[in-house]
């Protein structure tokens, strides 16, 4: 199954990567006032963290980045300064970025579940018509239960259907052999 070039890969990365990216963006913002030119650039590490690391790191970044930005405003400001408007804008920005993070996390989880589902259900299985063993990618034959159990969330229990019980084990169940 080939993935479209534009779809992000469904891997998991350690959240420390996104906090590093956020630190670099904050340093660039402090040095060059990038946020005034690109007011939504803090959303990028939050979206990537939501996709690759999950909801908690993304939510932490969605809250921490606007707060760090306000701290930068306080550091850069010269007295007297009015901070009400930047604080309100930052609160609105943090809320919007948090909603984007939650949306990306939900989308990423849906993508992962869909890919697992398709991988589980798609394709032809080379199966022995007698013993029902399946030939795996290495060309080795393995039991049906093991093959499916290793590639899905399915678990197996074993029992006897009435037809097999009658065909193969009738003598054990009719009382003629003590068991």
Average pLDDT (64-68) is: 88
Q: Is 12's pLDDT higher than 60?
A: yes
Q: How far apart are CA 115 and CA 135, in angstroms?
A: 22
Nearest to 145 by CA among 160, 128, 157: 157
Cα→Cα distances 1→9, 121, 123, 147, Å? 13, 12, 10, 19
Nearest to 133 by CA among 149, 146, 123, 118: 146
Name the token pair of 143: 């039991």
Confidence band of 56 (pLDDT split at 50, 70, 90): very high
Measured from the Cβ of residue 58, the count of other Cβ atoms closer than 10 Å reads 29
Average pLDDT (98-124) is: 83
Tens of pLDDT, residues 28-53: 888 887 776 666 778 888 998 998 89
Q: Is 169's pLDDT higher than 80?
A: yes
Average pLDDT of the chain, as a whole number: 83
Average pLDDT (76-101) is: 84
Considering only residues 105 and 7, tell me which one the structure prediction assigns the higher pLDDT: 105
Q: Is 22's pLDDT higher than 80?
A: yes
Q: Is 152's pLDDT higher than 80?
A: no
The whole-number pLDDT of residue 69 equals: 82
CA-derived radius of gyration, the chain = 28
Name the token pair of 77: 């400001």
The whole-number pLDDT of residue 179 equals: 52
């Amino acid at each position: 199954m080939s993935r479209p070039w534009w779809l992000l890969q469904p891997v998991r990365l350690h959240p420390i990567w996104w906090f590093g990216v956020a630190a670099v963006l904050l340093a660039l913002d402090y040095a060059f006032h990038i946020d005034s030119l690109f007011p939504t650039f803090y959303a990028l590490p939050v979206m990537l963290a939501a996709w690759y690391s999950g909801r908690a790191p993304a939510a932490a970044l969605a809250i921490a980045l606007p707060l760090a930005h306000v701290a930068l405003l306080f550091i850069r400001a010269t007295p007297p300064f009015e901070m009400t408007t930047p604080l309100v804008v930052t609160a609105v920005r943090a809320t919007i970025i948090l909603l984007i993070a939650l949306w990306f996390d939900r989308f990423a989880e849906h993508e992962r579940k869909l890919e697992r589902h398709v991988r589980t259900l798609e394709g032809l299985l080379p199966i022995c018509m007698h013993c029902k063993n399946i030939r795996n990618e290495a060309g080795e034959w393995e039991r049906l239960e093991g093959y499916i159990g290793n590639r899905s969330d399915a678990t197996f229990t074993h029992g006897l259907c009435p037809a097999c019980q009658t065909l193969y084990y009738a003598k054990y169940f009719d009382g003629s052999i003590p068991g």
